[in-house]
Structure formats: C-alpha cells, structure tokens
Amino acid sequence: MAKALITWGGWDGHEPDKVAALFAGWLRDAGFEVAVTDSLACFDDPGALVDLSLIVPVWTMSQIGKEQALNACAAVAAGVGIAGCHGGMCDAFRDNVDWQFMTGAQWVAHPGNDGVDYGVRMVTDDPLVAGIGDFRVQTEQYYLHVDPAVRVHAVCDFPLVAGPHAPNGVVAMPVVFTKRWGEGRVYYNALGHKAAVIGDGPAAELMRRGLLWAAR
C-alpha cells in the first residue's frame, strides 16, 4: 500500500489541523496508508522518508532544521512526491532556501489580505486541470516569487488592489504549478487560506488531483 506522510503545524490562522485532516481523508479514500503528525521530527530519518510515496507539508511561518530540510529534499529527489497548498508549503520555512528551491516558490505578499474576490483561470489542458474550468474565489490572493522552471496550470491576474506594485501593470500570477525535483514530482496550489477555501468545489478537485499526481 502506498504511504503518505502529512505533517502540520506553524501559524494557527491557516487551520493546519483541519487542512491536514481534509487531505488525509482524500488520500485514505484513494487507498493510501496515511500517517499524520504535528511534528517536524518526521524529517529526521532519511530512511523512513524514502519509503514514502508522498509528503504533504501543512506548515506556515515556521522553522525547519537544516538537516531535516535536506532529508526531505533528498527523499523527493529519490522519487517521493511532495504536494501542498497556500502557506502550508510555499510559506512554510522562510529562512530555508533548500526548501524553497525544491518547492518552487515563496510567498511574499497578499495585497488586500483575506476576502479579495478574484478569478482563477486554467492555462493548460493537462489532466490536472482538464474539465474543471475557470472559477472565482474570495480569499487571499498570493503574490509569489516563482521558480521559472515550474509548469503553470492555473493563474490569477494582479493587481486587483491598489499599492506600490500596481504601476507594474497586470501580471498572470501562478495559482497551480508543477515541477520536478530529481525523480520526484512537486505540486503546489496557492489556494487554501482556510480549510473551507480548499475543501470543496473546483479548488478541492484541483488539490485532490495534485496530491494523487505527485505521489510515487
């Protein structure tokens, strides 16, 4: 049976416990053996990590040990998938560049904070997004510094909120992207400020597909 590890913690405002439980349910329904932990000690044993099919981090604004991050990077390079959403993967460890290099982006701003109404549009016909169609959300709109090597599947348009960034004009900001890290697959979805944002509808279907795609 394929094994998935979900590890959660960090800033409580992102409801990491609820998001972790949501993902665990989807993965169990798909036939995975799922371990859920609220500790980063799960990254201490590189041998245990490489036995996994999938790592799902749900951490925001936290700190990870250098060896822990390198162990996670090595496991993904060896073929273990990694998938996450919102701040739970790409604002997990702001001071660890190894993690950021692997995951493909780092949050830097959300102009307007929570409650911004914006559209998400699909920009590939990949099975990850096929048939879902464009949709609207009302939540934080992430501005990310993004690895140019990623493959972008869905975007939103900036700027919607006035600020010093606005004179740069409209940019298509990635919402869903994938990349490779060695033999491993990396999936990211910028939605998910609260569990309800990612819990149903098109956002949920995007995330569910991403988890399954990333898994070895």
Q: Model's pTM, two decimal places?
A: 0.98
Q: Which residues pair with 157 in a beta bridge?
A: 172
pLDDT tens, residue by residue, 31-77: 999 999 999 999 999 999 999 999 999 999 999 999 999 999 999 99
Which pLDDT value is given to residue 125? 97
- At 161-210, the pLDDT tens digits run 889 999 999 999 999 999 999 999 999 999 999 999 999 999 999 999 99
The pLDDT of residue 16:
98
Name residues whose C-beta falls within 8 Å of residue 155's C-beta, 6 or more positions apart in sequence: 120, 121, 123, 172, 173, 174, 175
pLDDT number for residue 160: 82
Compute the mean pLDDT over every residue in the chain, rounded to the nearest whole number.
97
Q: How far, in Å, CA of 92 to CA of 60, rounded? A: 4
All domains of the chain, ordered by start, with CATH? 3-214 (3.40.50.880)
